[in-house]
Chains A and B, each alone.
Chain A
């Protein structure tokens, strides 16, 4: 009994779901500054992504990642382009490729973390793992640079590498052939595994196989349009001719686009997930101490080891916490003791100072009293001496004067006393007082 069941629509169902979800593709471009990475990406995706050129003076290699959403007919593509900024610019290039390796590992790590979570949402996770690495080789015509070799060697087990010869319009055709052969032989002899286009599916096996022979692709990128014949094509214009980007005779750009996007995008993603990511995961988990087979060759479950480790870590953590607590309490106690000591000292000092101050004050009081007494004594002495002076001054004078003087004596003495008091207060006043006395008397009083 046969008939049409209808599940041939299954691939379509799958495709519809994928369209709904959208696709995600991450490209990493590695190459020296100014070699044409951004231009090539622009040309590949037919859009102006970014404008400014980067400087040559960065002290370290950094990675700059940007995500764009492209749409072609009904397919949405979330494209992330990661650029290496400052690659090959430093004088000492030893640290050049480490940031790249770290970045790729970081993306794998993020995915692994998400996968190991208890409550996870993998189906709407934005996959940031690098799917393909376009490695730009500068068109010297000779061979690979050491930096290129080292970088590719360290990246080949982590990401799919597609080497491209940049600025291919600087090499002639014959040189190009030789260059390609030299490059491939160098890569092979150094054991660098670049991405091979898959040849297991009949529909694309043939074309992939032939493309494999054209690696590395010699590309030219340009977004400028030049009129050739009666069409506007993307090209670079030189005084001696026009290099057309999409002309297969001029460069391999079309092949690259074909291979990268039209034919093998899905395979690149697949390889990243099933090969490179699994390798990373395996290494990471083994590092952490998990195995699939426990002692006595009985298959252990990840769960058991994980649990055991977790308990271990908890125990460790508890212990450390206790330790820290003890330490803390001890320190606090010490500090408190010190502070108390300091307080007491301060108190003692304060008392001491107060006492000293008191004593000082008393002494000063004492001194003042003495001084005042001296002043009194001195002024009395002065008074008596002046009386005596005036008396001696008055005796050789007339009787009249005497009577008058006698009459005036109490008043005179009063005056004197008055002057006295005033003289005590003001030194300057004394002199005036004396003069004032002498004055009217001198011309002779009646």
Chain B
């Protein structure tokens, strides 16, 4: 049995089409050792993950981040001690390197205090979009240098967790606006914050209404349907999609329950355990983000969102650059509809981002 009969192609500079060949004699070649090589390389380089949390103040964002990564990344602000509310939206990032079993993870969390807190919240998403685009821009500039670094530092936002306040009704106009704009630029995972104020039935109803809202406004949150690669992915992701948005509760205090030490919130009527699937869906969120889909989040950011940004940027390059350093984001003329896979959303978004980032950064 000789499965391979390949007619040699005379001096082609591209290789000819592959034939599948199974190793007949099961002698040892050692190809699968490449997996170990990969692991070693990855462990040596370490991983990077950039996450952004967006939501109104008081929804428990900082607590959630602390719970997710089981370390005091932030000190959550208590209501009484809060500094006067910032007039404009400011973003600030914190970077930590956490290690587990030899795997180093450089985690960057970006918070958005002041989002949606003003009376007039018009265009409050612009600084956020500006920040996201700025990270893309930074990466792009590094990438098109002549002498590039060996490993370009990746500060692009891989995942944006959006906190929906638990009104129990449906998505508010601010939520809808924001989600529409953002889901084309970054992977968005919406969660129902402070879910302990809703009963289980209310939660389900709220969840369904949110899902309907998302569908009506064609907002594609992570995991996006269009990126399912094969049947297995589809099945797995469909299960996740049924439960989006997750109803989560964050807690950074430990309490004793039945002799075990658990993270939870203690109230007069009981202790809400964070890790208990019956109480809230925090484990689902954590598993999605960290245990199973982290690499996928990074891949989609790199292969899809970043490429989209790059296409827009390179097509718009006739905008006159001003000043030294990397190309500044000069306001481009009203862009013609560019041929990206999304609607003119990204182009518009880019323009607004450019407007605002000039002011802020």
Beta-carbon contact of B15 and A47 below 8 Å: no
Measured between beta carbons, the chain B residues less than 8 angstroms from A299 are 324-326
Interface string of B141-163 (1 = CB under 8 A from A): 10011111010000000000000
When chains A and B are docked, how far (Å) is the Cα of A106 from the Cα of B11?
A: 12
Q: How far is the CB of A169 from chain B (nearest CB, A)?
A: 20
When chains A and B are docked, how far (Å) is the Cα of A228 from the Cα of B41?
A: 40
**B252: contacting residue among A1, A258, A301, CB under 8 A:** A1
When chains A and B are docked, how far (Å) is the Cα of A14 from the Cα of B38?
A: 8
- Interface residues in B280-339 (C-beta closer than 8 Å to A): 286-287, 290-296, 299, 302-303, 307, 310-311, 314-315, 317-318, 321, 324-327
When chains A and B are docked, how far (Å) is the Cα of A63 from the Cα of B34?
A: 27
Measured between beta carbons, the chain B residues less than 8 angstroms from A50 are 6, 8
Beta-carbon contact of A10 and B21 below 8 Å: no
- Interface residues in A202-228 (C-beta closer than 8 Å to B): 203-204
Beta-carbon contact of B41 and A2 below 8 Å: no
Measured between beta carbons, the chain B residues less than 8 angstroms from A71 are 20-23
Beta-carbon contact of A270 and B35 below 8 Å: no
**A285: contacting residue among B66, B72, B146, B292, CB under 8 A:** B146
Beta-carbon contact of A7 and B47 below 8 Å: yes
- Interface residues in A324-352 (C-beta closer than 8 Å to B): none
Beta-carbon contact of B35 and A18 below 8 Å: yes
Beta-carbon contact of A7 and B324 below 8 Å: no
Beta-carbon contact of A17 and B144 below 8 Å: no
Measured between beta carbons, the chain B residues less than 8 angstroms from A4 are 70, 100
| Given known contacts A7-B294, A18-B38, A203-B40, A1 and B19 CB-to-CB distance under 8 angstroms | no
Measured between beta carbons, the chain A residues less than 8 angstroms from B31 are 23, 70, 72, 75, 77, 261
Kindly state whether residue B101 has any CB partner on chain A within 8 Å.
yes
Beta-carbon contact of B24 and A47 below 8 Å: yes
When chains A and B are docked, how far (Å) is the Cα of A1 from the Cα of B255?
A: 12
Measured between beta carbons, the chain B residues less than 8 angstroms from A16 are 295
Interface string of A1-38 (1 = CB under 8 A from B): 11111111111011111111001001000000000000
Q: Determine the residue in chain B with the shortest Cβ distance to A286.
A: B146
When chains A and B are docked, how far (Å) is the Cα of A44 from the Cα of B287?
A: 42
| Given known contacts A7-B290, A65-B12, A298-B324, A72 and B100 CB-to-CB distance under 8 angstroms | no
Q: Determine the residue in chain B with the shortest Cβ distance to A103.
A: B13
Kindly state whether residue A384 has any CB partner on chain B within 8 Å.
no
Beta-carbon contact of A2 and B71 below 8 Å: yes
When chains A and B are docked, how far (Å) is the Cα of A73 from the Cα of B31?
A: 9
Beta-carbon contact of A6 and B34 below 8 Å: no
Beta-carbon contact of B13 and A106 below 8 Å: yes
Beta-carbon contact of A261 and B30 below 8 Å: yes
When chains A and B are docked, how far (Å) is the Cα of A147 from the Cα of B292?
A: 54
Q: How far is the CB of B159 from chain A (nearest CB, A)?
A: 13
Measured between beta carbons, the chain B residues less than 8 angstroms from A45 are 23, 29
Kindly state whether residue B18 has any CB partner on chain A within 8 Å.
yes
- Interface residues in B101-134 (C-beta closer than 8 Å to A): 101-103, 105
Beta-carbon contact of A7 and B40 below 8 Å: no
Q: Which of A74, A99, A303 has the most CB of B within 10 A?
A: A303
Measured between beta carbons, the chain A residues less than 8 angstroms from B102 are 8
Measured between beta carbons, the chain A residues less than 8 angstroms from B315 are 118
Q: How far is the CB of B212 from chain A (nearest CB, A)?
A: 32
Q: Determine the residue in chain A with the shortest Cβ distance to B17.
A: A67
| Given known contacts A4-B100, A62-B10, A10 and B4 CB-to-CB distance under 8 angstroms | no
- Interface residues in B67-118 (C-beta closer than 8 Å to A): 68-72, 98, 100-103, 105
Measured between beta carbons, the chain B residues less than 8 angstroms from A10 are 42, 47, 103, 105, 294-295
Q: How far is the CB of B200 from chain A (nearest CB, A)?
A: 26
Measured between beta carbons, the chain A residues less than 8 angstroms from B278 are none
Kindly state whether residue B27 has any CB partner on chain A within 8 Å.
yes
What size tier do the contact residues of chain B reach?
A: 35 or more
Count of A-B contacts with CB under 8 A? Answer: 230
Q: How far is the CB of A52 from chain B (nearest CB, A)?
A: 9
Q: How far is the CB of B5 from chain A (nearest CB, A)?
A: 8
Kindly state whether residue B358 has any CB partner on chain A within 8 Å.
no
Measured between beta carbons, the chain A residues less than 8 angstroms from B30 are 72, 257-258, 261-262
When chains A and B are docked, how far (Å) is the Cα of A1 from the Cα of B68?
A: 12
| Given known contacts A47-B24, A72-B29, A303-B144, A5 and B15 CB-to-CB distance under 8 angstroms | no
Kindly state whether residue B16 has any CB partner on chain A within 8 Å.
yes
Measured between beta carbons, the chain A residues less than 8 angstroms from B293 are 13
When chains A and B are docked, how far (Å) is the Cα of A20 from the Cα of B37?
A: 16
When chains A and B are docked, how far (Å) is the Cα of A1 from the Cα of B254?
A: 9
**A266: contacting residue among B11, B13, B38, B69, CB under 8 A:** B38
When chains A and B are docked, how far (Å) is the Cα of A122 from the Cα of B304?
A: 11
Beta-carbon contact of B16 and A66 below 8 Å: yes
Measured between beta carbons, the chain A residues less than 8 angstroms from B292 are 9, 13
Kindly state whether residue B359 has any CB partner on chain A within 8 Å.
no
Measured between beta carbons, the chain B residues less than 8 angstroms from A282 are 146-147
- Interface residues in B150-185 (C-beta closer than 8 Å to A): 150
Kindly state whether residue B229 has any CB partner on chain A within 8 Å.
yes
Q: How far is the CB of B319 from chain A (nearest CB, A)?
A: 9
Q: How far is the CB of A265 from chain B (nearest CB, A)?
A: 5
| Given known contacts A17-B299, A19-B35, A72-B32, A266 and B22 CB-to-CB distance under 8 angstroms | no
Kindly state whether residue A278 has any CB partner on chain B within 8 Å.
yes
Beta-carbon contact of B145 and A292 below 8 Å: yes
Interface string of A300-323 (1 = CB under 8 A from B): 011110110000000000000000
When chains A and B are docked, how far (Å) is the Cα of A74 from the Cα of B32?
A: 8
Beta-carbon contact of B295 and A14 below 8 Å: yes
Measured between beta carbons, the chain A residues less than 8 angstroms from B37 are 263-267
Kindly state whether residue A375 has any CB partner on chain B within 8 Å.
no
Q: Would you mind naming 5 contact pairs between A and B with Cβ atoms under 8 Å apart?
A: A10-B294, A23-B34, A69-B20, A285-B146, A286-B146
A residues apposed to B, CB below 8 Å? 1-11, 13-20, 23, 26, 44-50, 62-75, 77-78, 80, 82, 85, 99, 103, 106-107, 110, 118-120, 122-123, 126, 128, 201, 203-204, 257-258, 261-267, 270, 274, 278, 281-282, 285-286, 290-292, 298-299, 301-304, 306-307
B residues apposed to A, CB below 8 Å? 2, 4, 6, 8-25, 27-35, 37-44, 47, 66, 68-72, 98, 100-103, 105, 141, 144-148, 150, 229, 252, 254, 286-287, 290-296, 299, 302-303, 307, 310-311, 314-315, 317-318, 321, 324-327
Other A-B contacts than A1-B70, A75-B31, A265-B34, 4 sampled, CB-CB below 8 A, are A7-B100, A14-B42, A18-B38, A278-B147
